[in-house]
Amino acid sequence: MRLNVYVQGALPVDRKTELFADRSQDGIYSVVVNVIEMRYQLCLATCFRDPSCGQHVPSYLPTSCDDDLSSGGGGGGGRGGHRQLVAAPVATGSDTTFYASVECSGDDDASYKLLATKIQSHLVNEVSVHSEVCPGNCVYHHWEHTNVNQTRSVKFHITMHTGDAAVLVRKARSFDEVPMKVVPPFTVLQYAEGTADVTYCNVADVQTAQEHVYVMFDGGGHCMSYEIVAVKISDSECQAGAQGGDHGAVQTYYEGITNISPHRFIYGSCEGSQWIDYALTLTEDDYHYSYLVEVEDLTAGATSPEPTALKLMLFAGQIPPDRTSEQLVDRAIDGIYSLTINRHTFREGTYYASVHCEEVGSQSDCH
């Protein structure tokens, strides 16, 4: 069996689509049209007339944007025309129509039941929202506050009923900047844990700063049914109890750490199983940049290179006692260990870059 979803307002003759599920998990075939794809398709169907659609109008729209979708005509390039349709849009008074098709395979009969569920994206304080996310799919929620020229902190309380997923929280100014894939920091949720809290601190208002907090759930190995509710908390409570996800400007200070200045080399060495730590402090103005942290093994130029002589790890906000991080590189390419802080992993505050000597003798490094 196969589940196909068509989001362009009609059924193409060749029945091809990029949104499909051809493998079940726990007996369920699931396809999500998340709020990012939904917003784009609605903008496309309404010719990007709404100001919220932004200025990036696709070049493949018909010049007049009044052509009949079933004509097969096209706009100025891009796809070079629409697919030939087996069913034209239905006149329902809505902006667009999605189609779901169940395809049976083989000669065996199949019985099934189908359910379409509307998942609320916007989170309001103290209002619980039910949702489900399955393997290969992702679901987005977003939260804002309207207290002009003030900051607020929020806790997302999540109750898991089945399955597992990864959740990450990011601040962004629009849907165009939301996370598109799972990158650290994120939190793995398991049904056995029952509940989880993810916080974000010091969020500016949506009117003057256009700040939104986006919560992304990425399906794990089994479909996860869950509830999520946003709870307003104080900034002090947020920073004191921050755990998992992205927490804004949570600071922890350490002794004997060298500050990193961009575009300036720092030389150092380590031996045995020694850690050498460095700090890079970023402000809100740094959000528009990417930061590349590189460690070059200087001994590789004098001797035969050892690609696993060092390990480079990156910690956001604080260095955990067990020194675990999802952002690490333990093998050099051309003698260089490299990690990046990009727009999706950015958080205001201090990052810690730690170099670990992997017990292969004394090593010199350049940062």
Q: If DSSP codes are grouped into helix, strand and coil, which group holds residue 129?
A: strand
Q: Which of 335, 333, 342, 285 is nearest to 314 (CA)?
A: 342
Position 74 scores a pLDDT of 34
- Across 304-323, average pLDDT: 81
Query: CATH class for domain 129-240?
Result: mainly beta
Share of the chain above pLDDT 90, in %: 21
Which of 55-59, 113-117, 164-168, 171-175 comes out lowest in average pLDDT? 55-59
Instruction: Name the more confident of 340 and 180.
Output: 340
Position 71 scores a pLDDT of 42
Strand locations in 75-223 (E): 85-87, 99-103, 129-133, 138-143, 152-160, 164-172, 187-190, 195-203, 212-219
Which pTM value belongs to this model? 0.60
pLDDT tens across 275-306, in order?
888 888 888 788 888 889 999 888 755 566 68
Distance (Å) of CA 187 to CA 6, 184, 192, 346: 32, 9, 14, 16
pLDDT tens across 94-125, in order?
677 889 999 887 777 888 999 998 999 999 99
Give CA–CA dist 159/157, Å, rounded.
7
Residue 344 has pLDDT above 90, yes or no: no
- Across 51-70, average pLDDT: 56
- Domain boundaries for CATH 2.60.120.680 within the chain: 129-240
In this structure, which CATH number among 2.70.98, 2.120.10, 2.60.120, 2.60.40 belongs to the domain 258-366? Answer: 2.60.120
Residue 214 has pLDDT above 80, yes or no: yes
Residue 27 has pLDDT above 50, yes or no: yes
